[in-house]
Every structure is written in structure tokens, then in C-alpha cells.
Amino acid sequence: MTRDHLLEARHVTLAYGDRTVVEDLDLDVAPGRITAIVGPNGCGKSTLLRALARLLAPTGGQVLLDGEPLASRPTKQVARVLGLLPQSPVAPEGITVADLVGRGRHPHQRLLARWNEHDYAAVAAALEATEIADLAERSVDELSGGQRQRVWIAMALAQQTDILLLDEPTTFLDIAHQIEVLDLLAELGRERGTTIVMVLHDLGLAARYADELVAMRDGRIVASGAPGDILTPELVEEVFGIRSLVMPDPVAGRPLIIPIGRHHAR
């Protein structure tokens, strides 16, 4: 089985109406690796992720999956390869956790086909991995923000796609659950060869977990590569407009970004 699907953006331009947000962007997603997209609010991270997931059609250029334009492939076929956790997903009213996570199995099911053992096993494993098995029968509406975020992550995991796109998967999570989710994604990559592309607003966590970092600003990729190779005070200043110190973190040796700020000027 080939799991190393190739996802590429070629000269991609993305717009909402006549407002262009991303222009002429090229990206090769590293198969089987974790790519983290970082950049200031509104720079086009979610827009890019939606285009990679086929939810937004480029107005110029193409997104290619295994060399073929994403737009020309059947939706269900794409859904079996590519899973997306959007930034602000909306759950149908009153749906239970188990039912919502179960929706992740739809791309694998034929019309009117019964649930098979793989479907049940995938849902159970996803509930387990995100530590929400005890919430299975609860209504999603009644959960805390952090619990709900884990339900969405479980739904994305239940899809068992070879490529997983996640938009700010750690939103609403406390520090322990942020690390838990990122460790889980790292394990998926290591154990199953899942290709992961995620938008992360926390530069520190991105530097810690990403194999490849993609730094965006104003709809363009400013730099991409291994965090240790590209994360410098100059890049942080160029992308986020802040002065910082960058040094190896004592745990993983990845770049640690220390913002300087106005009140601790050096």
C-alpha cells in the first residue's frame, strides 16, 4: 500500500470574491512528515489549508494530489486520502459525540452499506486516543470548548486518511491536552506514515513538533524548512513584527522563541 501521497500547490492564487488573499503560492507537502504553517492572523493560513483540502477552488494555479489536479478527482476519492479539521467546525444540533466521530467514516462507506467492524474499530480507537470514550453518548452541544475540540480531532482521526490537515487543532485545549494532541499526531506520523499539515498559532509548539515549518505573511510563504534551519530572530521579526531571542530549547533542542516586548527591552 502506498501511503506517500504527494500534495502540492503550484502557482496557487486564492480569492474571496475579487479579494485575492494568496497569490502565486508554491508548496510541496513533505510526505509522512509534520508540516506546520505559522504566520500572523489573517495572513491566509486557513485559506491555504482549505485549498489543500479541496474546499476552496484556486482562481489561479492548481493543487495537485499525486500529480493530478485535486479539482478533477471525485470528492469521495479525495475524502479517503485527505481529512480536514477546519478552524471553526459546526456540529449539527443535538448530535452525540459517538455520532459525530462516526461521521468521519462516511468517505469509507458505500451508499446504504452497513457499518462494518473497521468502522466501529476506527471510531473506538479515535475516542480512546483523544480520551473522550466516556463522553461518547453526551451531546456535543453540552461540552466544554476543550472537550469539543477533542471530539473534532477524534472525528478527523476516525477518517484514517493518509493526509490529515488540521487548522489550529490545539485551540481551546489546556497545556496538557495540547501536548497530548501533538504527541498523538507525531505518533500517527511515525507509526502509520500519516502526512500531517497543521496551522498552529503557537510558534513555540510549531517549532517543537514540526519537521517542516512554513512561515507565511500577507498570503506569501516567507520561509520554509526545518525549524532549526529557518527560525531566526530575523524571520520572527519579518513574519510577526516582533523582536525576539531564539535559542535551542533544553528538552528537544528545537528553536525556542523568547519575545522581547516593550517592557523588558534589552
Ligand X SMILES: Nc1ncnc2c1ncn2[C@@H]1O[C@H](COP(=O)(O)OP(=O)(O)O)[C@@H](O)[C@H]1O
Binding residues vs ligand X (CB under 6 A):
16, 21, 39, 41-47
CA distance 146 to 149: 5
User: Could you tell which of Mg ion, ligand X, none binds residue 16, using a CB distance below 5 to 8 A set by kind?
Assistant: ligand X
In the complex with ligand X, which residue's Cβ is closer, 73 or 201?
A: 201
Please give the radius of gyration of the chain, using alpha carbons only, rounded to the nearest integer: 19
Residue 202: CB partners within 8 Å, gap ≥ 6? 170, 178
Q: Is 46 in the site for Mg ion (CB under 5 A)?
A: yes
Taking the complex as a whole, the smallest distance from the CB of residue 119 to Mg ion amounts, in Å, to 31
In the complex with ligand X, which residue's Cβ is closer, 47 or 194?
A: 47
Choose the stretch contacting Mg ion; rule: CB under 5 A; options: 68-76, 79-87, 157-165, 189-197: 79-87
Q: Which of 65, 78, 61 is nearest to 28 (CA)?
A: 65
Q: Is 47 in the site for Mg ion (CB under 5 A)?
A: no
User: Which cell goes with 129?
Assistant: 486516543
CA distance 195 to 243: 32
Taking the complex as a whole, the smallest distance from the CB of residue 5 to ligand X amounts, in Å, to 24
In the complex with ligand X, which residue's Cβ is closer, 32 or 86?
A: 86
User: Could you tell which of Mg ion, ligand X, none binds residue 149, using a CB distance below 5 to 8 A set by kind?
Assistant: none
User: Using CB under 5 A as the criterion, which residues of the chain lie in contact with Mg ion when the complex forms?
Assistant: 45-46, 87
